[in-house]
Amino acid sequence: MGFIKNAIIGIAIFEGIKYLTKKDVLGTSNFEKIKEQLPSYIDKAKEVSQDLKAGKLPQV
């Protein structure tokens, strides 16, 4: 059972990496798109953490 579980996990990791690095028609990968959007995600997370510290529900 351990071998099968490790094989399935390995396949899932391989397919995830393959998906993230796959180039689209314009030549950009999904990983690059996520990297470009990362600053906006960080800003949203900071706003949510400030709301939580103030005792308010986050307005997302």
Within 10 angstroms of residue 58's Cβ, the number of other Cβ atoms is: 13
Q: Considering the entire predicted model, what is its pTM?
A: 0.57
CA within 13 Å, CB half, 28: 8
Encode pLDDT of 5-50 as tens digits: 999 999 999 999 999 999 988 889 999 999 999 999 999 999 999 9
The C-alpha angle with vertex 19 and arms to 31 and 12, in degrees rounded to 5, equals: 120
* pLDDT number for residue 60: 64
How far separated are the first and last CA of the chain, in Å rounded?
43
- In the chain, where the domains are located: 2-53
The H-assigned helical ranges of 2-56 are 2-21, 30-53
